[in-house]
Structures are given as C-alpha cells and as structure tokens.
Chains A and B, each alone.
Chain A
Amino acid sequence: MDRRTVLKGLAGAGTLAAAGGLSMPALSQGAVARTLRFVPQADLANFDPIWGTQYVVRNAAALVWDTLYGFDDKLQPQRQMVESEEVSSDGLTWTFRLRSGLKFHDGEPVLAKDAVASLARWSARDPQGQTIKAMQNELVAVDDRTFKWVLKAPFPKMLVALAKNNAPCSFIMPERIAQTDPFKQITEYVGSGPMKFARNEWVPGAKSVFEKFTDYVPRQEPSSWLAGGKHMLLDRIEWVTIPDPATAAAALQNGEIDWWENPIPDLVPVLKKNKNVAVDIADPLGNIGVFRMNHTHPPFDNVKIRRAVLTALSQEDYMRALVGDDNALWKPLPSFFAPNTPLYSEEGGDILKQRNIDAAKKLLAEAGYANEPVSCIVAQDQPITKAQGDVTADLLKRMGMNVDFVATDWGTVGARRAQKTPHNQGGWEMFHTWHAGADCISPIGYAAIRGTGDKAWWGWPTSEKVEAEVSAWFAAKSLDEEKASIGRLNKAAMEDVIYAPTGFFLSYTAWRKNVSGIVKGPLPFMWGVSKTA
C-alpha cells in the first residue's frame, strides 16, 4: 500500500474511533470504489456523436445513448433496444419493435417516433445511412413501440449498418434533440444509455463526468461488446484529460487515475513493472496506418507514381516509429483489411512485402515525374500522424521526390484535406491518418476504400474495379462469395492504390489492478467494470 492509502486509512480509523461505529470506513471506501477515473485517448471537447465523428466522442456517446442493434465480439449484429424485427418477403419493408420499459434520462419513455427522428438525423450524416436514405420510401412510426423503414430496393445489410460501431453510430435520442439540424451540434445530452452525462460538471478540455442511470434496464444476455446486457457496476465515471503522457503514466502509478486508454508504447515497460498496474492489448482489431494521396492532380494522379510509393515504402520503418521496439504490437499488412477478421485477404499485396527503392525510382522515371512538389500535411499534435509524417519525409526524399513538409495541427488537416485545389492554392498532395481495424472489416463503414471519384473520401480516388467489387460484395449471398469479392477488391485497391497502408498496429491499455472487468474491444466498454478500494 502506498503512503497515501496508509494515511487515508489512518484518518478513516481515526474517525472510526471517534464515531465508535464499524460501518464508517466501509462507506467512505465504498464511495471511492464506485468512482472510476479514466484518461481517454483525446479530449472530449464536444459531444454530438452524429455531428462529430472522432473516436472519443463515439466512446463517450456509447455510455449516454443506446443503439437499436450492436456488434458483439464476433462482429455480428445483435438486438439491443429492439425486441424483434421483421423483413417483408420482398425485402423492401423493415419493421422494428422496441423493447418495453426503455426510458430516457429525463424520465420520458423511449418511443418509436424518437427512433424515427434519430435515424433520420443519422442517415443524413453517415455514408451508409445516406445510401439507405437515398433508396428510402418512408421511415415512419407505426405506434408507440413500432416503426418501419420502407425502401425502394432490398438492403440485406440493414442490421449491419445499424449495429456497426464506427462513427457515426445510430444512437437513439429524444425526438426534440434528434430534430436538430445534422450540421449543427445538439445542445442537450439526454439519452437512454446506462450513464447520464453530468453536464454541470463538464469542463471541456479537462473533465467529463458520467453518473449511473438507475432506471436503465439491461438485456438478459451476457454482455459482449455493444450487444447484450450493459450492467453498470460503477456509480460515477470521470474522464480526465491529461495532455502529457509522462504525467498520465505517473498518475496511473500513483493511483490518481484508474484506467488509461492509450498509454504510449515507450512508457508501457515502466507500467508493466509496477505491481499495481495491469497492461494488455486494448483492441485485437488494432489500427491501420494510412498514407493518403490526392488523386486529382500531379504527381499522385499518375498510378505509376502511386505504385512507386508502395514499392519504396517500408512498413517496418513506419510501424517501429509508431510502436517502438515491441514486436507484439505490429504486423506487416499487405492488405486494406484488418487481420483476423472473416474477410481478410492479402491478394495483390506482394508489392508491400519488400521495399525496393531502386525499382521505385525507375517507376518514377517511367511515369515521367517532373519534380512536382508533394506537400505533406502532417498533424503534429497526434503522435500517430506525427511519427508517420517524419518517416514519410524521409521516404519521399530517398525516392528523389520534392517534399514540402507542412507541419500543422489536426484541426487544420481536417480543414485542408477537404480542398481539391493544388497545393499552392491551399490544397495538398498527401496526408496521414489511421483507421481503426474495426472500421476496415467490410465495405460497410469503410468510406476510405471506395473509388467513387468526386464522392469518395479525401483524395477522391477513382476505381471502377473497386466499385464493381463493392457492388458484388453487397449482392453476395454467402460467406464464400463475400470472401471472393473482397479478395478481388483488395487486389483492385492495390493496383489502383486507393491509399497506401503503412502497416497494422495494436495499442495497449493500462489499468490499476483493483479495477476488474475490462475487456478487449474497439472501444473502452465501461459496463461490467468494477473497482475495489
């Protein structure tokens, strides 16, 4: 026990002696034991999970709002707020029936019209939702607990779209909140999830507080990621933003915080040595590092130059820069999909397996590279993009390309990558980001793999081959057919170089040993987590 606990214990004993009662220390320790102090991966500056798609917003939203369906740990959609669903024989009408007894934090019951309004707002922003909305005939509440979604064409992946855990998730909000313009932030944070958001204690940039919602009715099934019963064993959760990783590590060792979502790999050995701290892989689905190119103007509008990058790229360099010396934390990734998932394929990925700078230089010469500048927009405040950016500057220089390194912040990257102009008019040629592996399992929710040109994700790649395979996957009727089409998709994406994956990496999560119930998953699940004093 460390000094502070001893002192606290002594103080408790002192009060005990004074009060003469045996229950006092247990109570005070109990109160502490039901509060969890958590350090999230980023600061929770805003809290609208449909408007803001950052991971941290989604993670916090999962506490406050509930979804109709949720992925379990096998990535299968399971019912959550829905009691039963029905598809008409022609596949065009989906009828959903909500569970009974669902309540919002303000005491109001959850009604079908709330679900309808929430889905309307979600489908205005989510790419998958937009697809559904485009082929929608009507989305309407039938009675207080039933609503239906009538489509113009069958959409067999409806449940997957509703259950997916990548942002924006289809969180169900009260109708009045869901009627907020999808391009404006909501101002009220009322949901039907297992925790309430303590708005009055929120200090954006520093602290967010969640309190247990006692009227939450969990499902009977055992909890599994976003599916099953969400039993909340904590009374209060505090999300504390600690910007300096060294400080966060010290705070975890000292017991000032209980759970650190994203310890940096270099500090993990120190944490592992501490007998009060446990460390484990956070999410087996990991992350994929991304080197995203702009396909609309030189030099990366030339597929040969894009392939030159793939040839010269060393995934080991990128991954080591990201995760350090721990080999358990990274894998080479000759693919655009997350390893250990049902559809994973390495077809066409040989180009990434071995770096060859000379071959790359030859390709560049063949392609007629005329020393066009490559402006690399690299966010310095995100360790993942910063590390990748440094490696890229080195890589492109070695290839003999003309590098214009723009060191900036994540917010500016977000604004600038939306510009289609050439770099000297405020545009860009490449930027770095990363995708959670959970978002790279299938074409659903994987906007970054699409080749729809102007409508595609930043970089606007055009690839008919990729799009053909995406349609094939949507129409596939069996797992084998799906696998085959994903294999061909991977190959097509490699040939057209939709983007350059820089490798597959995992991250750790660390918690104090008096906290139990932490499971591996794509987000930090707080139900089932408990703490002893």
Chain B
Amino acid sequence: MASYVLRRILVTIPVMAIVALFVFSLLYIAPGDPAAVIAGDQASPADVERIRQSLGLDRPFLVQFGSWLWRILHFDLGTSIFTNLPVTSMIAQRIEPTLSLMMLTLVLTLVIAVPLGVVAAWKAGSLIDRVIMAFAVSAFSLPVFVVGYVLAYVFALELEWFPVQGYTPISQGFWPWLQNLILPSIALGCVYIALIARITRASMLEVLQQDYIRTARAKGLGQRGILFVHALKNAAVPIVTVIGIGVALLIGGAVVTESVFAIPGLGRLTVDAILRRDYPVIQGVVLMFSFLYTLVNLMVDLTYTLIDPRIRY
C-alpha cells in the first residue's frame, strides 16, 4: 500500500516536469516583448534593452529554464511584471476564493447528482428516469455564463436573496461566506451535476444487473440498503474517476464564473495575466492549477483502493 502510494507520487514528478517545460516554453516563444511593455510609452530602445537585461530575458533558453526551475523548486515563482509583487503572494491572496468555490461546487454536486443518478438507475426506463436524464443532458449543454447571468438576475437582483457579486472570507463568518458562493456554485455546478448524474446512472445500471444484487434482494434487504450500501460502493470507481477528471471542468468554468460574479480568485487572475502577457503570473498559475489537478487525481487513485479492495497495484 505504502509502496503504491509512493510510486504514484513519484510518477507525478515527471508529469509536473513536462508541464513546467511546456509552460515555460509557451511563453518563451510568445510574440510581444514584456520588456517593451514594462518600459512603457516614453522609453527609448536603450531603456528597453536595460530592462530586458535586468529581467534576464537575453540569456539562452536552457539557462533561463534552468534558473526558473531552480527557483520554482524553492517555491519562488518570480515577480509579476505589472504589479511588481511576488507571484507566490498574489496566488496566496487569491487562492481561498477559488478553492472555496470549487469545494462548495463539488459538495453541492455530489449531494445533488449522485442521488439523482441512483434514482434514475433504480427507476430505469420510467418517466422519472427520462426526466432526470433529459435535465442532465440539457444542463450539460448550457454555457456557464448564461446560467450565471440568469441566476444573478433572478435570485440576486429581483428576489434579493443573495448578493450579486463579491466574496467574503470565511473568517468573517460562515453564513456571509456561503451567501456569496451559493449562486456561483450552482452556476458552475450545472455542468458538473449533469455529468456526474449521467455517469452515476450508467455505472449503477450495470451494477444493478449483477448477480450479487439479486442475491441481496433475495436475502430480503431493503431497497435503500441495496442501493446505497451494495450497489453504490461497487459503482463508485467510475464515478470517482469522473469526479477527478471533472475538476478540470471546474477550473475552466471557474474562470468564467469568477468573472461574472466578480469573485477575486485565481481564475480571474489567470485571465487578466494572460491578456496582459504577465508571464511570471501565467507560469505560476498554470503550474499551480496543474499541480492541484494532479493532486486531485492522485487522491482519486488512492480513493480507489479504499472503495475497491481489488484494486491494489
């Protein structure tokens, strides 16, 4: 078990290295000159060259990559070109809203989607099943920002149940924190809920046809017991896989949701940085998200061993 965990962790290192190389090269070959942007309107070519040298942009690729990698390993993600602040502190400032949003969305999704999928599988072929699946496939097709706008308009502006925008840190109270995140979580979660519901239904359907379920029923176990204790546990592997992969969906959707609801998170930071060509920030954030994603998938892999004792590598 321990060796499996260790091996899984070791495997992530080359993956992250590839990501790092890719992220670094991406911006190395990018057009546009950050030195010129920094130098500003009134600078002369000599000034631009001075700035380029001070940023170390005139050294060969491998040297730049090497020194960058070295700094990364010391958790020094560099300094933002535009704000002159260390990237690490910028990320630290904005990670709480994004993580909160993603976690809340995840919880909401699991709480809504899994039961929906189970019910749909249980009543396969019936009206309920069709309705749930129709809803799922429709929700899967809606663009996130449209859902966001509709929710904001109806629930925040008209009904005034929730604030329209912004983020309150959890240190200022649980309910204010939750209030700001409910609408964005629902908007972000729509697609995710649909996806998980579909996968849950499909996986449950297959499990429900197995012999051991028939045995359990013959033994006289109650429906709920069968569904949630036996069937779900066995159906869990694909569901958990999709949850892991779906985190990428969440990160992508968070970008848009944060923009619509003015949440000061990493998604917005990334978009701003990319549009401004703020290289160190782009590199830092993409690295961070990739690391997060890899971590989530690692945890997913480890969860397999908990759910399914047969999976022991």
Flag if A250 contacts B264 (CB, 8 Å): no
Q: How far is the CA of A2 from the CA of B157 in the complex (A)?
A: 11
In the complex, what distance in Å separates the CA atom of A116 from the CA atom of B52? 29
Does B234 touch A at the CB level, under 8 Å? no
Q: How far is the CA of A207 from the CA of B277 in the complex (A)?
A: 21
Interface flag for B93 (CB, 8 Å): yes
Complex alpha-carbon distance, A254 and B149, angstroms: 15
| B:255-311 near A, CB below 8 Å | 259-262, 264, 268-269, 272, 275-277
Given A45-B82, A183-B51, A415-B32, does the pair A247, B43 have CB atoms closer than 8 Å? no
- Minimum distance in angstroms from A395 CB to a CB of chain B: 26
Inter-subunit contact B264/A46 (CB<8 Å): no
- Judging by beta carbons under 8 Å apart, are B36 and A418 in contact? yes
Complex CA gap A242/B164 in Å reads 11
Binds A, one of B83-91, B108-116, B121-129, B211-219: B83-91
In the assembled complex, the Cα of A400 lies from the Cα of B277 at a distance in Å of 34
Q: Does A134 contact B (CB under 8 A)?
A: no
Majority-rule SS of A interface residues: loop
Stretch at the interface among A198-206, A291-299, A329-337: A198-206
Q: List CB contacts (< 8 Å) of B6-53 with chain A.
A: 31-33, 36-37, 39-43, 47, 50-51
- Distance to closest chain A CB from B33 (angstroms): 6
Report yes or no: A414 in contact with B156, Cβ–Cβ below 8 A: no
Nearest chain-B residue to A380 (Cβ)?
A: B275
The answer to whether B262 touches A254, judged by C-beta atoms less than 8 angstroms apart, is: no
Nearest CB of chain B from residue A38's CB, rounded to whole Å:
14
Minimum distance in angstroms from A143 CB to a CB of chain B: 33
Cβ-neighbour of A206 out of B164, B261, B268 (below 8 A): B268
Give the distance to chain A from B89, nearest Cβ to Cβ, in Å: 10
Is there contact, CB below 8 Å, between A46 and B83?
yes
Find out whether the CB atom of A243 lies under 8 angstroms from the CB atom of B259: yes
**Given A53-B40, A409-B276, does the pair A45, B163 have CB atoms closer than 8 Å?**
no
B94 is an interface residue with CB less than 8 A from chain A? yes
- Residue of B149, B164, B268 with most chain A CB atoms under a 10 A cut-off: B164
Given contacts A183-B50, A254-B156, contact A418 B41 (CB under 8 A): yes
Closest to A243 in B: B259
Bound CA span A43–B160, Å = 27
A87-100: CB near B (< 8 Å → 1, else 0) gives 00000000000000
Residue of B nearest to A252 (CB): B164
**Can you list, as one digit per residue, whether each of A206-248 has a CB less than 8 Å from chain B (1) or not (0)?**
1100000000000000000000000000000000111110111
A243 touches B268 (CB 8 A): yes
How far is it, in angstroms, between the C-alpha of A183 and the C-alpha of B80 when the chains are bound? 16
Chain A residues with CB below 8 A from B238, complex form: none
Q: With A256-B166, A411-B277 in contact, is A243–B262 under 8 Å at CB?
A: yes
The one of A2, A242, A246 in contact with B149, judged by C-beta atoms closer than 8 angstroms, is: A246
Q: How far is the CB of A522 from chain B (nearest CB, A)?
A: 19
User: B39, A251: Cβ atoms under 8 Å?
Assistant: no
Interface residues of A in 410-425 (CB under 8 A from B): 411-412, 414-416, 418
A254 contacts across to B, CB distance below 8 A? 156-157, 160, 163-164
Instruction: For B32, list chain A residues within 8 Å (CB).
Output: 411-412, 415-416
Q: Which residues of A contact B160 (CB under 8 A)?
A: 2-4, 254
Q: How far is the CB of B270 from chain A (nearest CB, A)?
A: 10
Q: Say which residue of A4, A247, A409 sits within 8 Å of B152 (CB atoms).
A: A247
- Chain B residue, CB-CB nearest to A127: B42
Residues of B within 8 A of A125 (CB): 42
Which of chain B's residues 159-182 have a Cβ closer than 8 Å to chain A? 160, 163-166
Do A205 and B272 contact each other (CB < 8 Å), given the known contacts A254-B156, A412-B277, A414-B37?
yes
Q: Is the CB of A183 within 8 A of B43?
A: yes
> At the interface, yes or no: A348 with Cβ under 8 Å from chain B?
no
Residue A253 is within 8 A (CB to CB) of chain B in the complex: yes
**Chain A: minimal CB distance from B274 (Å):** 9
- A381: Cβ under 8 A from any B Cβ: yes
Which B residues are CB-close (under 8 A) to A242? 165, 262
Extra A-B contacts (18), CB below 8 Å, given A415-B36, A416-B32: A2-B160, A4-B160, A45-B276, A46-B84, A183-B50, A185-B84, A204-B83, A240-B262, A241-B262, A242-B165, A244-B262, A250-B156, A251-B164, A253-B157, A254-B163, A256-B166, A409-B276, A414-B40
Listed A/B pairs (13) with beta-carbon separation below 8 Å? A46-B83, A53-B40, A183-B39, A183-B43, A183-B50, A203-B94, A204-B80, A206-B264, A241-B262, A247-B152, A250-B164, A412-B277, A414-B37
